[in-house]
Amino acid sequence: MRAWFGCTGAEMLARDPAEIAARLAAAQQARGYPGTPDQQTVWETTIAALRDALRQADGGAWTIALEYDLLRLEKRIDAVVLTDRAILVLEFKQRDASPAALAEAEDYALDLRDFHSGSRAHPILPVLVTGGVDGFPLPRQPPLIWHGALPPIHCGLNGLAALFAWVQSQAPAAPLDGQAWLDAPYRPVPGIVEAATMLFARHGVAEIAAARADAANLRETTAAITRAIAAAQNDRAKCVVFVTGIPGAGKTLCGLNTVFGAERQHGAAFLTGNAPLVAVLREALARDAAARRGVARTQALREVKAALQNVHRFLEDNALDPTRLPPERVIVFDEAQRAWDEAKARRGTQNRPGRLTLSEPAHALEIMGRHEGWSVIVALIGNGQEINTGEAGLREWGRVIAADPRWRAVAAPRVLSAGDPLQRLADVEPPWLALDPALDLTVPLRAVRDSAVAEWVEAVLADDAPRAAAIAASATDFPVFLTRSVDATRDALRRFARGHRRAGLLRSSGAKRLRGDGLAAEVPPDDVPDWFLNHFLHPAPARPRDIRASDALEAAATEYACQGLELDVAGLAWGGDLVRAAEHWTARRFVGTRWQPDRAEAHYVLNTYRVLLTRARYETVLWVPRGSPAHDPFHDASRDAALYDTVAAFLAACGARPLDPALPAPTRAEPATLL
């Protein structure tokens, strides 16, 4: 049972508040949390208030759960009251009645709705209970439909009885088995930042591997990686473990679990060429470590840098000194199919000349091969996510493994059957390769609302409108919406991003003419951590509102800033770099004052939109600008309305839901409107 203490209303009325508080204190100590006399006093006060309210509401048959653990949020719900009409999520605060406190209560309700199987069929009412507030002011308008997570409401500690009476008078009957609810599985899917923070702080979290009861694939893949590493240790062998998977299926999660879990003792490191991913995760882990342990942020940042490294710098630093023995016996090579080929490695980047002499896969094997005995490279392969030229693909990994008899590999059969020869490890099964189907992640986890989004995106980008429409139609509540208005997009993002969930705008780096439609700003590289981690709508008490935050909805992140990361709710601005012509997608590049066909880069442009379309955990809002109509005397051919109309029509035919301009106002209400 996830609750520290659970009982019926009658049992709570029969017990002394001090006894229940003592049991909570014992549960707290058993979990390694320090207790304080102040906490004991708070528990006794809230329990006494709950008992009085239960007695007045005749709630003896109800069920009460105190201090209910929520893994994804790394927090606990103060109290859950299960009546015969609703699930009440109670968050107690001594004085705080701020919008952020309301959003915290709402976040708890949303978490139960999405990840607790016993809550999905019942209305969930988040309630902020504040001391010093008198009674329970009736909401101006009760919910019209008691379903799912309702908007949060506020009451005083002495208003609980009135709250219970109001719920019982307004909500329809919804019988609920209290013990079954307490025993029901809670299977959260943490976001990348949440997962990394938990894993780094706790040296592995078993519950993450068990995320989503229906996602056995993630558990099996995690176990397959562990088996492969154990076999390499036992055989004193060198092995590359290839983990393939569709976008959003948990590859990064598996990689982080490997680095921060049991293999941490071997100095394991997570290597990625995705500089924004490194910056965001380092900053998130440093902030969390500083808050948990009270150390300076700079000290905490030094601690995380060894675990999260830029792959290009790792390879360069070790390649320049061939006598250097890397401290890591296990490395996770993120997006390994995007490792540079030899030409790109020698050339380097615009800002940094190349210092390598071989392809990056070749250097990785040479560097890790310096160890006596065993070493392992876990190569994470993101299918259809190549967005740059000079990326070597799986073919190069197969070539360098075959050329070095010290190395062997294990992978899923997918690595031999990819349609693109560049993404096949080999054309026939080689002797150095062992096949393990568990290393292919096929169950999408990122899309919490509906796992069909990844398949829908594939159909859309394959020009298959009938298949896409069928996928959308078969979904219970398909979470992809279409609008022609940027203002409607922003309004919808704020409405969908309830609680503390994060919304943000996305755009392709090649969508150069969005400036003419009111979206010019891109997220500067230095601002990416603040864009993903800071809040504008709900800042922390010690941090003011930050206009750089994603939920300010001012700047849009490109594919380079967001690949490997995610948002709860995403608004994608469709650019003129991918339009429809002759019933097919056509890629373009903006040069000077006009668009030019870009056939050579078409594959990368499609992959760019694949990345952008799969960033959201919940809703995605597609904004296709109206552009410049031909009859306008100031017609701008670079924003031709007819082309945008064709894109919008195709997305609608694929099943994207029209965004109703008459949608209700955002449900995240300020206290003044609730009381």
Q: Can you give the CATH number for the domain in which 420 is found?
A: 3.40.50.300
Q: 7, 67 in Cβ contact below 8 A?
A: no
For residue 544, what pLDDT is reported?
79
pLDDT in tens, 130-179: 987 888 887 877 788 898 999 999 999 999 999 999 999 999 998 899 99
Do 370 and 458 lie in one domain? The reply is no
Q: Is the pLDDT of residue 489 over 90?
A: yes
For residue 297, what pLDDT is reported?
81
Do 473 and 534 lie in one domain? The reply is yes
pLDDT in tens, 438-462: 999 887 666 666 678 989 999 999 9
For residue 192, what pLDDT is reported?
80
Q: Is the pLDDT of residue 579 over 50?
A: yes
Q: How many CA atoms lie within 13 A of 284 on its CB side?
A: 25
> Does a structural domain hold residue 266?
yes
For residue 663, what pLDDT is reported?
45
> Does a structural domain hold residue 675?
no
Task: Give me the helices (H) in 497-619, please.
Answer: 528-533, 559-562, 602-613
Q: What is the mean pLDDT of the chain?
A: 87
Q: Is the pLDDT of residue 667 over 50?
A: no
Q: Is the pLDDT of residue 210 over 70?
A: no
For residue 404, what pLDDT is reported?
95
> Does a structural domain hold residue 669?
no
> Does a structural domain hold residue 148?
yes
Do 165 and 252 lie in one domain? The reply is no
Q: Which of 206-210, 384-388, 474-478 has the highest mean pLDDT?
A: 474-478
For residue 481, what pLDDT is reported?
96
Do 28 and 177 lie in one domain? The reply is yes
Q: Name the token pair of 606.
A: 């499609």
State the burial class of residue 207 (Cβ atoms within 10 Å of its Cβ: 0-12, 13-18, 19+): middle
Could you tell me which of 77, 103, 198, 97 has the C-alpha nearest to residue 502? 103
- Structural domain of residue 302, as residue ranges? 192-441
Do 29 and 63 lie in one domain? The reply is yes
> 321 CB contacts (<8 Å, ≥6 apart)?
none
Do 339 and 472 lie in one domain? The reply is no
For residue 384, what pLDDT is reported?
56
Q: Is the pLDDT of residue 673 over 60?
A: no
Do 207 and 182 lie in one domain? The reply is no
pLDDT in tens, 639-650: 999 999 999 999
For residue 669, what pLDDT is reported?
33
Of 408, 441, 474, the residue that ends a domain is 441
Could you tell me which of 13, 26, 24 has the C-alpha nearest to residue 55? 13
For residue 674, what pLDDT is reported?
26
Of 394, 409, 441, the residue that ends a domain is 441
pLDDT in tens, 581-592: 989 999 999 999
Express as a percent the part of the chain with pLDDT over 90.
56
Q: Is the pLDDT of residue 388 over 70?
A: no
For residue 450, what pLDDT is reported?
62
Helices (H) and strands (E) in the chain, counts: 24, 23
> Does a structural domain hold residue 407?
yes
Q: Is the pLDDT of residue 637 over 90?
A: yes
Instruction: Give, for 259, the enclosing helix (H) or strand (E).
Output: helix 251-260
Mapped to the 3 state alphabet, what secondary structure does 173-231 carry?
CCCCCHHHHHHCCECCCCCHHHHHHHHHHHCCCHHHHCCCCCCHHHHHHHHHHHHHHHH
State whether residue 50 is helix, strand or coil. Answer: helix
pLDDT in tens, 216-229: 577 788 889 999 99
For residue 665, what pLDDT is reported?
39
Do 166 and 254 lie in one domain? The reply is no
pLDDT in tens, 55-97: 999 999 999 999 998 876 678 899 999 999 999 999 999 888 8
Confidence of residue 664 (pLDDT cuts 50, 70, 90): very low
For residue 206, what pLDDT is reported?
53
For the segment 431-439, the average pLDDT, to the nearest whole number, is 95
Q: 105, 93 in Cβ contact below 8 A?
A: no
* pTM reported for the whole predicted model: 0.82
Confidence of residue 387 (pLDDT cuts 50, 70, 90): low
Do 168 and 256 lie in one domain? The reply is no
Of 146, 170, 187, the residue that ends a domain is 187
For residue 528, what pLDDT is reported?
94
> 377 CB contacts (<8 Å, ≥6 apart)?
239, 240, 241, 330, 331, 333, 364, 365, 368
> Does a structural domain hold residue 670?
no
Q: 342, 358 in Cβ contact below 8 A?
A: yes
Do 465 and 559 lie in one domain? The reply is yes
pLDDT in tens, 353-374: 778 999 999 999 999 999 999 9
Do 310 and 408 lie in one domain? The reply is yes
> Does a structural domain hold residue 511?
yes
Q: Is 666 or 254 the better-scoring residue by pLDDT?
A: 254
Q: Name the token pair of 247.
A: 């976008």
Report how far residue 626's alpha carbon sits from residue 242's, in angstroms, rounded to the nearest whole number.
Answer: 44
> Does a structural domain hold residue 448?
no
| Tally of domains in the chain | 3
Q: Is the pLDDT of residue 389 over 70?
A: no
Q: Is the pLDDT of residue 675 over 50?
A: no
Of 69-73, 305-309, 512-516, 519-523, least confident by mean pLDDT is 69-73
Do 150 and 273 lie in one domain? The reply is no
Q: In what order do the strands lie in the sheet with 3-8?
A: 3-8, 63-70, 75-82, 87-93, 124-130, 153-156
> Cα dist. 41→21, 52, 197 in Å?
8, 17, 31
